[in-house]
Amino acid sequence: MNSTVATLTARSLLGRRRTLVLLLLPLALLALCTLARVLAGLDPDIERDLEGPLAPDLLGAFGIAVLMPLLSLIAGTGSIGPEIDEGSIVYLLAKPLNRHSIVVTKLLVAIGVTVAFGVLPIAVAGVVLTGEVGTVTLAYAAGALVAGVAYCAVFLLLAVVSRNAVVIGLIYALVWESLVGAVVPGAQSLSIQQWSLSVVQRALGDSARRSGIEAAVGFGVGTLLLAVVTVTATTLAGRRLQTLRLNQSE
């Protein structure tokens, strides 16, 4: 972890436009949760739904399935992609710095951004929905956290390896995990979504069954795969950085 690299990364990541796009996502979530709360105050049916399917819908299907991948995509690719694209990565590479430490630092910055714009808002949303910092809030926050970490690592690797990292990442997170995952049962076990869901399921304990949350993999397998994918992606990214070819001006 190198603080200079971290500062440079953070400053280029949190440019005005990118920050605006990043803000859009948690604001949408919080708006929805507030609306749900307000409606719940007006209608006992919805009040009941808050205990039931609403939290999984909002925090799970919207929060972990849509928000976290998009945020991690923007943060993960944004923490190294533009520098490689523009060639300014040379200022980090032409230094006596360990390539792995560069990658890890950037990953930590990306995770930090994802936590600030994703995990924390999801926790807040959980509080808004349930009215307390309870099991639901913590479960989904934990799920969001592990999802964010894994996604950031994978997307950072993608950004080092390919210039079309964002589109590839989108196709993975949206088409593979949602569409294909819904149709092809096997695909679900290779999905960061499902692994995070297993964490949520475990954290919710018994109420998971009540809310109908069923992850495709067990808790042990899920966390193991999350860890393996995160570490592998980070290591590969570091190794790729050692032999990165700088491109000439276009």
Partner 1 sequence: MSAVEIDQVSRWFGNVVAVNDITMRLDAGVTGLLGPNGAGKSTLIHLMAGFLAPSAGTVTLDGEPVYRDPEIYRRVGLVPEREEMYDAVNGWSFVLANARLHKLRDPESAARRAIATVEMADSQHRDIRGYSKGMKQRIKMATAIVHDPAVLLLDEPFNGMDPRQRLHLMELLDRLGAEGRTIVFSSHILEEVEQIAGRIEVMVAGRHAASGDFREIRRLMTQRPHQYTIQSSDDRALASALIAQPSVSGVELTSGTDGSIVAVQATDFAAFVHALPRVAAREGIRLLEVRPADESLESVFAYLVAR
Partner 2 sequence: MSEHAVPDRGAPARAGAIHDIGYRHYDGPRHGARYIQRSLFVETLRGTYGLGRSARSKVMPFLLLGLMVLPAVVMGIITSYVGLTAVPVRYTDYVMLVQLVVTIFVGSQSPAVMSRDLRFRVASLYFCRPLSRRQYVQAKLAGMTVALFILMGLPVTLLFCSALLAELPLDEQVPDYLRAMAGVAIHAVVLAAVGLLVAALTPRRGLGVAAVVAVLLVLSGMELTVRGLASAFGNDTFLGYTGLISPYTLVDGVVTGALGADSSGGQAPPGALGTVLFTLVTVVLLAACYSALVARYRKALG
Binding site for partner 2 (CB under 8 A): 15, 17-18, 21, 24-25, 28, 31-32, 35-36, 39, 42-43, 45-46, 49, 54, 57-58, 61-62, 66, 70, 73-74, 77-78, 81-82, 85, 159, 164-167, 170-171, 174-175, 178-179, 250
Q: Return the residues of window 94-133 that contact partner 1 according to CB under 8 A.
A: 94-99
Please report, in angstroms and rounded to a whole number, the separation of the first and last CA atoms in the chain: 32
Residue with tokens 């930590």: 108
Partner whose binding site includes residue 179, from partner 2, partner 1, none (CB under 5 to 8 Å by kind): partner 2
Q: Which amino acid is at 152?
A: C
Q: Which residues 6+ apart lie within 8 Å of 200 measured at CB?
A: 60, 64, 139, 140, 142, 143, 208, 213, 215
CA distance 93 to 211: 50
Least distance (Å) between residue 230 CB and partner 2:
21
Partner whose binding site includes residue 8, from partner 2, partner 1, none (CB under 5 to 8 Å by kind): partner 1
Q: In the complex with partner 2, which residue's Cβ is closer, 1 or 35?
A: 35
CA-nearest of 84, 72, 248 to 172 is 72
Distances (CA, A) of 189 to 2, 96, 151: 35, 41, 15
Q: Which one of 87, 131, 134, 205 is in contact with partner 1 (CB under 8 A)?
A: 87
- CA 223, distance to chain mean position in Å, is 15
Q: Which one of 90, 175, 182, 184 is in contact with partner 1 (CB under 8 A)?
A: 90
Least distance (Å) between residue 96 CB and partner 1:
5
Contact positions vs partner 1 (CB under 8 A): 2, 4-5, 7-8, 11-12, 15, 86-88, 90-99, 242-246, 248-249
